[in-house]
Every structure is written in C-alpha cells, then in structure tokens.
Homo-oligomer: A and B are copies of this chain.
Amino acid sequence: MTYSDKLISYYKIIANDCVLGVSLDCVIFGFHDTRLKVFLLRWKETDEWCLPGGFIYKTESVDDAASRVLYERTGLNQLFLQQFHLFGDANRYDRDDTWQRQKMPMPFSGAWPDRTISMGYYALVDYTKVTPTADFLSDACDWFDVGELPSLLYDHCRIINVALQTLRLQLNWQPIGLNLMPEKFTIPELQRLYEAVLGRPLDSRNFHKKITGLSILTRLDERRTGKAHKSPYLYQFDQLNYQKALINGNLIFV
C-alpha cells in the first residue's frame, strides 16, 4: 500500500466517522530562550509545514476534539486551550496550489467536500513538558519562532497571526504565565515572556512591582545559579491566589 493509497483511505475513514466539512486547527504556543514559539508539523514527503489539526468525531464535542489533538501532539492534558476564531471563508486558500504543494494524490477529491470550515484554537503550553509527536500526515514536527515561520500550507499563516493578535489582547486579563512557564522560574524570565508576547521591552523595575503586587507569586528560598551576575530568586505561581485573581478579573496587565 503506497503512501498515496493510505492517504486516500485515511480520508475516507475520516469522512465516514467525522463531522463533514469542519476541521480544527491548534496554534500551540510555547516559550523558550526568550522567544515565543509555535509548534508545527511537516507534511509528509514535502518541505511544507502546517498547524496540528484534526477532525471532530460525530459524537464528540468540538472542544474535546481540540483537547485530543493537543494531547496527541504534545502528550499534555488539561491545558489552557481556547477557541479564538472560526475560519469560514468560502475560499480560505487556493486549493489547487495547496494540493500541489502537498503532493496530494488527485483521486483524492470527491472524498471530502469542496470547502472546509476550520475552528481555530490556541493553546499555551510549558515548552519543557512537551513530547513533540508527529501525526499520520507528517514526518516531522518542531517549534518555530513566531517571527521566523517556514513555508506554511493552507491559510495557516493567517491563522497564526490571528491567534497571536488574540493572545496579545487576552494578555490583559488572562493568565498566560501559569500556562507557558515551567514550574519554577525567575521574575526576569517571566518578564521575557511578556516581552516576547507583546513584542516590546518592559521596564524591569515596574514589571517586578506589578507582578509581585498581584500576589500570585510565591518566592522560593532557591536561586537560579550558574550564570555570571547576581543570581535571581526562583518563584512559583500561587495557584489559589491565581484562581482568585482570575475570577476577580485582577490580572489586568499591559
């Protein structure tokens, strides 16, 4: 059975078991080495990349389908995962061009409707805890700097941009630190995250004042050592106060 045959039978199964004409795409954000990263898959036998995505089983809720996709690609569960936009244009992307770049076998058409609507989700994950796993359609996966994306299939470039815009807006009253940072971190490291998302530098003195003022952090007795210069304290999020602040909408941050 050739790859082409496998692909066709795969899509036939999907068409049978899943909601027809609807897909979902996950923009998985991570943070590493002062950069905001996005998780991508490389389409098999090509140099084209795309977002992890999937289809919705007929008896599955859409949010559950998104969780499932995320789990399968990262090994992580119970993540920060949010709908952010439905991509529903009748001509979201140039289908012929895309199929050609995907090296899609041509008997493929007919097994799937002409147009697909895609629900966009974005996830915030702890980069250090992810076990990157490629899917059936891809032979590699990797993190990319949001500022340096490779050649992307479909309208996935636009989807990532809309996700990023949404993330920047949500930063104002949503907790992004808890989801994107490892368990222990320093305040300067957290500041790098905010700077990476906002795309501009922040004043370290004001950042420190603001973030500690929210009383969502607990300072540990440990310090991050090994580097030149003064060793910074390690912090943890105070889960309880974090949730309280969330509910009260006190996490406003610009």
| 8 A Cβ contacts from A48-76 to B | 56, 58-64
| 8 A Cβ contacts from A18-39 to B | 19-22
A125, chain B: closest CB distance, angstroms: 21
**Contacting residue for A83 out of B22, B60, B85, B115, CB 8 A:** B85
Determine if A117 is an interface residue (Cβ-Cβ < 8 Å): yes
Chain A contact residues: over half helix, strand or loop, or mixed?
A: mixed
Determine if A88 is an interface residue (Cβ-Cβ < 8 Å): yes
Q: Given A86-B119, A88-B119, is A114 in contact with B58 using a C-beta cutoff of 8 Å?
A: yes
List A residues at the B interface (Cβ < 8 Å): 19-22, 56, 58-64, 83, 85-86, 88-90, 113-115, 117, 119, 169, 173
Number of copies: 2
Task: Name 18 interchain pairs, CB-CB below 8 A, sorted by A.
Answer: A19-B22, A19-B115, A21-B22, A22-B22, A22-B117, A56-B117, A58-B114, A59-B90, A59-B115, A60-B90, A61-B88, A61-B89, A61-B90, A62-B86, A62-B117, A63-B88, A83-B86, A86-B119
